[in-house]
Amino acid sequence: DKYDFDKTLQKSTMFSPKTLYLNDTTSKFFHLLVQGLSYEEISEQINMSINSVRYYIKILYKELGVKNKASVILMYQNGDII
């Protein structure tokens, strides 16, 4: 019936509740991490001190609710981050 159709349409057009959107800063660090770069390599690539890189990556981990790089990569592979 119409009610079931509306519910199906609504579900198909909504984003997954697990999908996360990152701001520009955390997004930059996220993309460098999923490329497999080390903190030192990130530091060199974006011309930032390694301590600053560590600081921003800790913020990224906190936003994502993870504790390590492997978890970030897994979230990326699962499509949980846009």
For 26-38, write each residue's pLDDT tens digit.
888 888 999 999 9
Amino acid at 9: L
* pLDDT at 79 (0 to 100): 81
* Cα(72)–Cα(76) distance, integer angstroms: 6
Q: Where are the alpha helices (DSSP H) in 1-82?
A: 2-13, 24-34, 39-46, 50-64, 69-77
Q: What is the DSSP letter of 20?
A: B
Which residues is 20 bridged to in the sheet? 81
Of 4-8, 54-58, 63-67, 76-80, the poorest mean pLDDT is in 4-8
Sorted by sequence, the CB contacts under 8 Å of residue 13 that are 6+ apart come out as: none
* Cα(2)–Cα(27) distance, integer angstroms: 40
